[in-house]
Amino acid sequence: MQTPLSHCTVLLDEAVDSLEVRPDGHYIDATFGRGGHSRLILSRLGAEGRLTGFDKDPQAVAVADALALADPRFSIRHEGFKFMAELPAACADGILMDLGVSSPQIDDPARGFSFRHDGPLDMRMDPSRGESVADWLAEAEIPQMAEVIRDYGEERFAQQIAKAIDRRRQERGPLRTTAELAEVVAGAVKTREPGKDPATRTFQALRIFINAELEELQQALSASLRVLRPGGRLVVISFHSLEDRIVKQFIAQHSKEVYDRRAPFAAPKPMALRSIERVMPGEREVAANPRARSAVMRVAERTDAEAP
């Protein structure tokens, strides 16, 4: 029997503490994953409390379905967290977003997220929907590939990698496995930071692109302003600079009064969020779970101002 792939939830206590869970509140775990944050939130809710989860990954939803059967206070929606926009306005006392890819996804070769395990070149959060990385790379032009790898992977050798993928397609046909892609990237990237695999940035870029992760994050953040009640908390954990930059700028944008330049003497529009804190994992957590080392958690509170 195959051993279930485990997941160590990053900043578990810090994130749930930051939500300031009320026993009768309604909370949203926007990225259920394997339910680490959800279970702790439920442990702090009373009989009248409610928790709504979102996740695109069918394997995560299967775990969530089991939890929903065991605990009627919890419900799961098999869709991305941008669909929070469909929830009623001001219905939530807190929203938690734990971004990126989970350990079970990375460690399962069949999902195609990791260059460390050979498997099909897929990388979709929901394998039942959309186009796989292999299918996209089979048709994409060199400028398209270079743009994606540069913009989403911050890879300075993006052009060389794109050209190498194209040569590989012409000589031996389309790339179909993670090992094939990692080999092509390694041949195109001549230098890399010590201890970092040459394929790291390219795999990150393709995963983010194929799942439209940054676009969905922006949509979900906008939805959070409408869904949160005044005093409700927004807690977001990101794992790379592209995500964190979006979250940081979003909170900063909505944490200041807005002046209408067309009406210079009008009162400013009050801020919709109040920035609370920025939290990093401690040394003990990073030592126990190296994947936590890049995590950044940002916390903000919804004010009683109208959403823009």
Indicate the annotated binding residues. Answer: 35-37, 55, 81, 98, 105
- Strand-pair partners of 50: 26
What does the angle CA 63 – CA 132 – CA 56 come to, to the nearest 5 degrees?
25
* Buried/exposed 223-257: b ≥16 CB within 10 Å, e otherwise: bbbbbbeeebbbbbbbbbebbbebbbebbeebbee
Instruction: Return the half-sphere exposure (C-beta side, CA atoms, 13 A cut-off) of residue 114.
Output: 13
Q: Exposure of 290 by Cβ count < 10 A (0-12 exposed, 13-18 middle, 19+ buried)? A: exposed
**Cα separations in angstroms, 202 against 149, 209, 241:** 6, 11, 15
Distance CA 288, CA 88 (A): 40
Token duo for residue 102: 């989970």
Amino acid (one-letter) located at 21: V
- The answer to whether 269 touches 305, Cβ cutoff 8 Å, is yes
- The answer to whether 12 touches 226, Cβ cutoff 8 Å, is no
**Residues annotated as binding site for S-adenosyl-L-methionine?**
35-37, 55, 81, 98, 105
- The answer to whether 97 touches 235, Cβ cutoff 8 Å, is yes
Give me the count of residues in the chain: 308
